[in-house]
Amino acid sequence: MDQPPILEARDLKAYYITEAFGVRRTVKAVDGVSLAIRPGEIYGIAGESGCGKSTLLKMLLGEFEPPLTPVEGSVTYDFGEGQHDALDMSEGEVTATRWSRVSYVPQGSMHVLNPVRRIGDTFHDFISTHQPMSRRQTNERVAAYLAEFGLREGVLRAFPHQLSGGMRQRVTIALATILSPKLIFADEPTTALDVVVQRGVIQLLKRIQRDHGSTLVLITHDMGVQANLADRIAVLYAGKLVEEADTRTIFKAPRHPYTQHLIGSLPTLEDKVARVSLPGRPPALDDPPSGCRFHPRCPYAMEVCKTIVPPLVTLEGGHRAACHLITGETDHAAATSPALA
Ligand SMILES: Nc1ncnc2c1ncn2[C@@H]1O[C@H](COP(=O)(O)OP(=O)(O)OP(=O)(O)O)[C@@H](O)[C@H]1O
């Protein structure tokens, strides 16, 4: 029997709700997202900047504060002992869960590494809040763990600014994974690193996921990184999940025009000239386009796309996509199916 999902979001709506000078503004950054992440998989969340990836991450982590407000739906974790509500954890549950069960590799290592503390002190503070340990014990444990990441013991005595960007990112990943969490979120873990260092970080994440048997949720706009790491990919556009499938299907047979665009804009070795990107940008989400939110940029937009939101339909092999081109096809197939005649 299939294991239950380790993380599940059902019809999740999370909006930034602000009020200034009596004017209320609602930014629908996550608008009706449902997804289920299986234990042990690498699940990629893709989409251009402004599509709602970071907002979705905050909700999946259960770490949000006003103006971001959960409006509808649910997020649940299941670590094998039944479901927990991720959006309504007590302070005690947050402390027990964060880092030891659910951890997070943030965008930019400087967010978690205190610039005026040595790396060893940061690790000690961090580990001792979860597991009482002497300074010597933490140093030994951390040195052994850092060695697996190709980092020398001397790193423990260094300040963050004394390390290269790639070393800092490896230290951040070590910090997020030393307690063997079951669920790891990584937010743009390779952005801002050069290509060679990127490759090292990708291999490192793969190895951790394999060795610890953890589940990795990878948030990145970079489809090249998604292709290298993810088992399945969800594509977000303007706060909505527009397509989800295993990585091979996403790259070989994408059904949503937005996914086709994301993949089509990836350079290949055969390219002699730069690829042309799709004009326009994701819309502002306080007043998103009616109907399909992608219709103003879609090369195949039809009348129906301007008014009716396409449903997310399930295709062969659990592939899901939300596009009227597909719904039109399936309606047509149903209408002409001899079984239904
Ligand atoms: N604090 C905020 N108040 C109001 N709107 C916000 C706030 N933070 C983000 N938004 C809006 O929410 C939408 C989704 O933003 P989000 O940062 O989640 O997207 P993203 O895909 O992660 O992009 P990026 O990669 O640039 O972070 C955008 O339209 C953004 O302008």
What pairing do the DSSP bridges indicate for beta strands 313-314 and 320-321?
antiparallel
The HSE-up count of residue 52 (CA atoms within 13 Å, CB side) is 31
What is the per-residue pLDDT for 12?
98
pLDDT band at residue 304, thresholds of 50, 70 and 90?
A: very high
Q: pLDDT tens digit string along 189-247?
A: 888 777 877 888 888 889 889 998 999 999 999 999 999 999 999 999 999 999 999 99
What is the per-residue pLDDT for 192?
74
Using a 6 Å cutoff on CB, does residue 202 contact ligand 1? Answer: no
Using a 6 Å cutoff on CB, does residue 47 contact ligand 1? Answer: yes
What is the per-residue pLDDT for 266?
64
Which homologous superfamily is 7-101+181-290 in?
P-loop containing nucleotide triphosphate hydrolases (3.40.50.300)
Q: What is the dihedral angle through the alpha carbons of 255, 236, 2, 179, rounded to the nearest 10 degrees?
A: 140
What is the per-residue pLDDT for 335?
45
d(CA 93, CA 54): 23
Using a 6 Å cutoff on CB, does residue 16 contact ligand 1? Answer: yes
- Helix and strand numbers (H, E) in the chain are 11, 12
Please state the rounded mean pLDDT for residues 99-105.
Answer: 89
Residue 229 tokens, joined: 């790491």
CA of 49 to the centre of ligand 1 (A): 8
Residue 39, preceding peptide bond in cis (omega within 30° of 0)? no
Q: Average the pLDDT over each of 257-266, 293-302, 307-316 and give the range with the smallest value.
A: 257-266
Using a 6 Å cutoff on CB, does residue 185 contact ligand 1? Answer: no
Query: Higher model confidence: residue 331 or residue 132?
Result: 132
d(CA 131, CA 225): 34
Ordered by start, the domain boundaries in the chain are: 7-101+181-290
Using a 6 Å cutoff on CB, does residue 50 contact ligand 1? Answer: yes
CA of 232 to the centre of ligand 1 (A): 23
Using a 6 Å cutoff on CB, does residue 198 contact ligand 1? Answer: no
CA of 283 to the centre of ligand 1 (A): 11
Using a 6 Å cutoff on CB, does residue 318 contact ligand 1? Answer: no
Mean pLDDT of the chain: 89
pLDDT band at residue 254, thresholds of 50, 70 and 90?
A: very high
Distance set, CA 189 to CA 82, 195, 239, 246 (Å): 30, 12, 21, 21
Dihedral sign for Cα atoms in the order 50, 54, 58, 60:
positive
Single-letter amino acid, residue 320: R
Question: Closest residue (by CA) to atom 2 of ligand 1?
Answer: 16
